[in-house]
Amino acid sequence: MPVTTPSTLSIIGRVMRRRLKSDAFDDAIDVIIDTPAGAAKSQQESTSTSLLNLFFYRIEPSQFYADAGARDRWYVRVLCLITAFSTTETIDDPDTHSTTVIPQGEVDLMVLGEVLRYFHENPILKPVTPEEDVGAYLQVVLTTLSSQEINQIWSTQGEVAYRPSLLYEIALLPIEPKKRAAPPLPVVAGGIDLQTHAKMTAARRKPPPPPWISPRLESGEGPDWVPALSFVTGGIATQYMSIAAGANLKVPVWIAGRPGATVHLVWERIDRGVWQPVSEAGGAVDATVPAQPSPPGDGVIEPAAASAALTVDMPVPAVAPVQLLLHAERTGAGGAVLKSNPLILTVTQP
């Protein structure tokens, strides 16, 4: 990934810098993102410019969404130390022909007071342009620093003397994975109907639920592309199907990947609580990834184009009634086994 690629962390720094510079100070003060030591050096090199420095010095877990997986969006809290590095200002009064000199320390307090006012009136950072959108509204909360924390921060800044500062917490900042996980597979529902003072009657079969439409999936590029799978039934791309058992059963499978490549399709079933490969005939087959028309195009599961997708008929092992799991796998450039998303197939009694 290029160093210049923005992340949600860099975007929120850019947003805070832009809002303070344009909305709070009308470009009268230069707002920068640096360490206090770096900001002090910049201010010394340009003694005529007052600086407001944003120091994002601490990032910590949010303690929410603890069940997020490695490919799920997750959230962090970000602590930002805001410090003014001002210069002495001179104000000329044309009416009295007098000059007022405002010392540097007082200007620092003026600048920090304006920051306090701005974030008190604007505690929620909302995106104004698509480039500012990090996928969430962020809350900016004023917090405190203990004497020990103040000493720890400023003792790392070399010879820079301590200056009055504000500490804000930005929460909750989403961190996006490079590739989002597919939504969780649905539970195949069942239940017990209990009635008091009633006779037990044969259960009536309910109509099957509508198919769960597949999310959009991409197989990726480069030598380590990962196959993507979907069933196609009635022109709908779905991650699960339910069919009645029978002889020579086959299900249509949409395989997204590099056209002409060979992938290994594997059926699994639950054995003592663990998904295990099906050992019966038809438990695993090799298939060639077909070239897709446009739409949907190669290397992508595009649910809206399911009716035009070319599918592969996958034989179903004769192990009914059972619930089966299907995935595709291939060997990557480094020898690692790359597995697709799983599909669920419920085979019922005829």
The tokens describing 348, both together, are 């019922």
What is the mean pLDDT of the segment spanning 21-38?
A: 90
Q: 175, 208, 236: which is the final residue of a domain?
A: 175
Question: How far is residue 31's CA from residue 52's CA, in Å, rounded to a whole number?
Answer: 5
pLDDT-derived band at 46, boundaries 50, 70, 90: confident
Q: Are 30 and 21 in contact (CB under 8 A)?
A: yes
Question: Does residue 54 sit in the same domain as residue 141?
Answer: yes
Name the region of 226 (left: φ>0; alpha: ψ -120 to 50; beta: rest).
beta
State the CATH number of the domain containing residue 167.
Answer: 3.30.2000
Taking 50 as the threshold, does the pLDDT of residue 202 lie above it? no
Taking 50 as the threshold, does the pLDDT of residue 317 lie above it? yes
Q: 175, 193, 228: which is the final residue of a domain?
A: 175
What is the mean pLDDT of the segment spanning 90-107?
A: 82
pLDDT, mean over the chain? 83
Nearest CA to 345 among 192, 243, 236?
243
Residue-level pLDDT at 342: 87
Distances (CA, A) of 299 to 258, 261, 310: 6, 11, 12
Q: Are 127 and 168 in contact (CB under 8 A)?
A: no
Say which DSSP state 234 is in: T
Question: How far is residue 90's CA from residue 12's CA, in Å, rounded to a whole number?
Answer: 34
Say which DSSP state 306 is in: G
The tokens describing 14, both together, are 């850019």
Alpha-carbon Rg of the chain, whole angstroms? 31
What is the mean pLDDT of the segment spanning 70-77?
A: 78
Residue by residue, DSSP assigns 51-118 as EEEEEEEEEEE-SS-TT--TTS-EEEEEEEEEEEE---EEEEETTTTEEEEEPHHHHHHHHHHHHHHH
Question: Does residue 72 sit in the same domain as residue 151?
Answer: yes
State the CATH number of the domain containing residue 278.
Answer: 2.60.40.10
Taking 70 as the threshold, does the pLDDT of residue 147 lie above it? yes
- Domain range enclosing 225: 217-348
Residue-level pLDDT at 67: 61
Q: Each residue of 264-312: pLDDT tens digit?
A: 999 988 776 677 888 777 788 999 999 999 888 899 999 999 999 999 9
pLDDT-derived band at 88, boundaries 50, 70, 90: confident
Residue 301 lies in a domain: yes
Highest mean pLDDT among 105-119, 160-174, 215-229, 239-253: 105-119
Question: How far is residue 206's CA from residue 142's CA, in Å, rounded to a whole number?
Answer: 56
pLDDT-derived band at 207, boundaries 50, 70, 90: low
pLDDT-derived band at 189, boundaries 50, 70, 90: very low
Residue-level pLDDT at 346: 85
Least confident of 166-170, 257-261, 321-325: 321-325
Query: Which three-class secondary structure state does DSSP give residue 310?
Result: coil
Element housing 326 (H / E): strand 322-331
Least confident of 182-186, 195-199, 297-301: 195-199
Question: Does residue 274 sit in the same domain as residue 147?
Answer: no
pLDDT-derived band at 145, boundaries 50, 70, 90: confident
pLDDT-derived band at 255, boundaries 50, 70, 90: very high
Least confident of 80-84, 177-181, 207-211, 269-273: 207-211
Amino acid letter, 335:
G
Domain count within the chain: 2
Residues 6 or more apart from 207 whose CB is under 8 A from it?
none
Residue 183 lies in a domain: no
Residue 180 lies in a domain: no
Residue-level pLDDT at 137: 82
